[in-house]
Amino acid sequence: MEKDMADNQSKTRAALARLCTEMTPQRFVLDSGLTVLVSEMPQFKGVHAVFGTRFGSADKSFSLDGQTVELPEGVAHFLEHKLFEDENGNDAFELFSATGASANAFTSFDKTCFLFSATDEIEKNLRILLDFVLHPYFSEKTVQKEQGIIAQEIRMYQDSPEFRMTFGLLGNLYHVCPVRSDIAGTVESIQKITPEMLYRCCEAFYAPDNMVLSVAGNVTARQVLEVCNGVKIAPSGHRLQRQKLQEPDTVFAKEKILKMQVSQPVWGIGYKGPGALGGEVKNELICDFITELLAGETSPLYNRLYDENLINAGFGGEYLSGPGYCSLIFGGETPDPKALQAAFEAEVQRLLKNGVDEEQFLCTKNQMLGQAIMGLESIEDVATDQAAVFLRGHSLYDEVEQLSALTARDVEAMLPTLLDREKCATILIMPTDNDGE
């Protein structure tokens, strides 16, 4: 059995190495400092493009040309919204729609990305993307209008138990690290945002040498470069220095109990790893591996909990990793929070004591390698993943190579650090009583 699994793993690794060689993007660095990644995939009809910058909600303090700037919560997300409107009131979404393209954008803790998918008028859509992001316009009137829109979005998320669980756990784990706060900020914090603040952030973080354009699909590098050369992209004349807060090693709070209008309790648990681990390829792969071992749909624990009706299909885990932070969080709905917590913590202690079962390790690794192969055959995944890993300072090839070389001993060596009971916190969301209390 193990020999068959090892043979399958070897074949999977060989196929993945072959695909990685074929799918390595063409890379160009323009005079402005902008990096352009192009994956020519002519077998597809469409094109997917991602324009990203290293600026996320965790960037709350920085120095630009020697001047320190402190930001309220939610600026990166607010800026993402405002960059889709120009001085003449044109909406980028409408321009994309007129060409038949679909567009979107998102902000995370460490990056902001703007994207579109299209099958026609690729050059025109690329120009729209570059023009709106690189040529911002803000006024008091448009900022005030957006403050009202985003305030509604913030209130909407407060009604989501999954959202409250995630940020409740992060609030328990971290003292000062900005990941403890909602990416969109608070209703109060976004009222402090001004046009001048947004322009300052553009100067600092929307500089070409801090950004990447990643394009994949039925397009050539020549087409992409011709568009880039036709758009005014000025090099940055500013000096940016990011400032990091000193996060204590301890957790802020061990537990939190909330009440919401939910049909049954929601339970979650989080583990705080050392901030120095964040952003490193191998560490991220190990974090991903541990979440699969404990909460993946093929894991023994997940299936046992599911069979015992302690969880439903919504139960899962994820890791959050970046410069200065690294954590694992798990959770979902359950009819019996105490029984779920006991079973989960017992499995963690079993892992710490006995290590990783070799058969389960091979199954999980092959699953992750298979997912990586599938991702290389999707223009959306290729463009998005190429941009994401570039903004973190590495490449998809680095991730695949290190995943292929990962061993059970590598994972076991990190278990005591990433699943430390002393750096663990829980959250419980209980149904609101009938009387509203």
pLDDT digits (tens, 9 = 90+) for 199-258: 999 999 999 999 999 999 999 999 999 999 999 888 888 899 998 778 999 999 999 999
Q: How far apart are CA 208 and CA 134, in angstroms?
A: 9
pLDDT < 70: residue spans in the chain? 1-23, 434-437
Q: How far apart are CA 111 and CA 106, in angstroms?
A: 8
* 13 is a domain residue: no
The domain in which residue 284 lies consists of 255-431
Q: Which residue has the tokens 């959202």?
A: 163
Closest C-alpha to 368, from 300, 299, 415? 299
* 400 and 355 co-located in one domain: yes
Q: What is the pLDDT of residue 436?
A: 45
Query: If 0-12 CB within 10 Å is exposed, 13-18 middle and 19+ buried, where does residue 10 land?
Result: exposed
* 76 is a domain residue: yes
Inter-helix orientation angle 358-375/408-418, to 10°? 100
* 196 and 308 co-located in one domain: no
* 364 and 225 co-located in one domain: no
Domain CATH code at residue 401: 3.30.830.10
* 3 is a domain residue: no
Q: What is the pLDDT of residue 11?
A: 59
What SS3 state is found at 208? helix
User: Which residues of 143-250 form beta strands (DSSP E)?
Assistant: 211-217, 240-242
* 8 is a domain residue: no
* 326 and 285 co-located in one domain: yes
* 309 and 223 co-located in one domain: no
Residue that finishes a domain, picked among 189, 210, 242: 242
Considering just the CA atoms, what is the radius of gyration of the chain in Å? 23
Inter-helix orientation angle 140-157/75-82, to 10°? 120
Q: What is the pLDDT of residue 395?
A: 84
Q: What is the pLDDT of residue 435?
A: 47
Q: Is 58 left (phi over 0), alpha (psi -120 to 50) or beta?
A: alpha
* 227 and 284 co-located in one domain: no
Q: What is the pLDDT of residue 10?
A: 59
* 82 and 129 co-located in one domain: yes
Closest C-alpha to 218, from 57, 432, 15, 43? 43
* 146 and 261 co-located in one domain: no
Residues found in the chain: 437
Angle, CA 346 vertex, CA 344 and CA 348 arms, to 5° = 70
Q: Transcribe 383-416 into DSSP letters.
A: HHHHHHHHHTT--HHHHHHHHHH--HHHHHHHHH
* 298 is a domain residue: yes
Q: How far apart are CA 315 and CA 7, in angstroms?
A: 32
Q: One of 40, 80, 292, 399 is an active-site residue; which one?
A: 80
Joined tokens for residue 216: 């994949």
pLDDT above 70: percentage of residues in the chain = 94
* 184 and 298 co-located in one domain: no
* 232 and 262 co-located in one domain: no
* 206 and 316 co-located in one domain: no
* 77 is a domain residue: yes
* 287 is a domain residue: yes
- Determine contact, residues 133/114, Cβ cutoff 8 Å: yes
- pTM assigned to the model: 0.91
Residue that finishes a domain, picked among 209, 242, 275: 242
pLDDT tens by residue, 386-436: 999 999 988 888 888 899 999 999 999 999 999 999 999 999 999 997 544
| Active-site residue, 226 included | no
Number of domains observed in the structure of the chain = 2
* 249 is a domain residue: no
Residue that finishes a domain, picked among 242, 268, 297: 242
* 281 and 187 co-located in one domain: no
